[in-house]
């Protein structure tokens, strides 16, 4: 069975690590007292923007090194489901950070100073504070975050299905 390229595997597992950092931190931020939130925002926003850059690089890599086809024995409905989940994940890995960056700016908090990207790079403020827009974009960002979780459950469920039930070695393509 043909596996993914080494670069594809690296992009995959780097994305997994970044999501494992960004999602839980983003989830708990609303429960943290205002006077200690900024470091959590800094981690969440830096991880999110890094996901954005990694996703773009990953798509460029994917164009140069296409993924191996699914094995012939995988039924068409499963192929379509896998493709749909992958496409939706890629879309959200790009859209989520963009929504977060817009919401942050609309709230009036450009990534500067203690929330600079990776603690080093100040990013520009590109809009005036607009709380109604910020609230709407933040809601979309929150919904997108939960959508990523649903897609990851489907993705991991597919891995478990192939590994434990079908026992077809599909997992070996990415490890």
pLDDT per residue as tens digits for the range 81-140: 999 999 999 999 999 999 999 999 999 887 777 678 888 888 888 899 999 999 999 999
Read out DSSP for the chain? -PPPPHHHHHHHHHHHHHHHHHHHHHHHGGGS-GGG-HHHHHHHHHHHHHHHHHHHHHHHHHHHSPPPPPPTTS-HHHHHHHHHHHHHHHHHHHHHHHHHHHHHHHTT--S-GGGSBTTTB-----S---HHHHHHHHHHHHHHHHHHHHHHHHHHHHHHIIIIII---GGGGT-
Report the CATH fold assignment for 6-173.
Fumarate Reductase Cytochrome B subunit (1.20.950)
Write down the domain spans for the chain.
6-173
pLDDT digit string (tens) for 103-120? Answer: 999 998 877 776 788 888
Its pTM stands at: 0.92
Tell whether the model's pLDDT for residue 153 goes beyond 80: yes
Predicted local confidence at residue 143, as pLDDT: 98
């Amino acid at each position: 069975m043909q596996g993914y390229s080494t670069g594809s595997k690296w992009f995959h597992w780097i994305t997994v690590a970044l999501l494992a950092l960004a999602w839980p931190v983003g989830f708990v931020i609303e429960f943290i007292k205002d006077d200690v939130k900024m470091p959590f925002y800094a981690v969440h926003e830096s991880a999110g923007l890094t996901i954005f850059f990694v996703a773009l690089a990953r798509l460029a890599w994917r164009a140069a090194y296409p993924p191996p086809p699914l094995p012939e024995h995988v039924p068409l409905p499963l192929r379509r489901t896998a493709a749909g989940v992958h496409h939706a994940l890629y879309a959200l890995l790009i859209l989520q950070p963009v929504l977060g960056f817009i919401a942050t700016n609309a709230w009036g908090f450009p990534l500067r100073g203690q929330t600079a990207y990776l603690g080093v790079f100040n990013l520009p403020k590109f809009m005036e504070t607009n709380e109604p827009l910020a609230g709407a974009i933040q809601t979309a960002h929150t919904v997108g975050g939960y959508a990523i979780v649903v897609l990851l459950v489907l993705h991991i469920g597919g891995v478990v299905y192939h590994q434990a039930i079908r026992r077809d070695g599909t997992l070996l393509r990415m490890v």
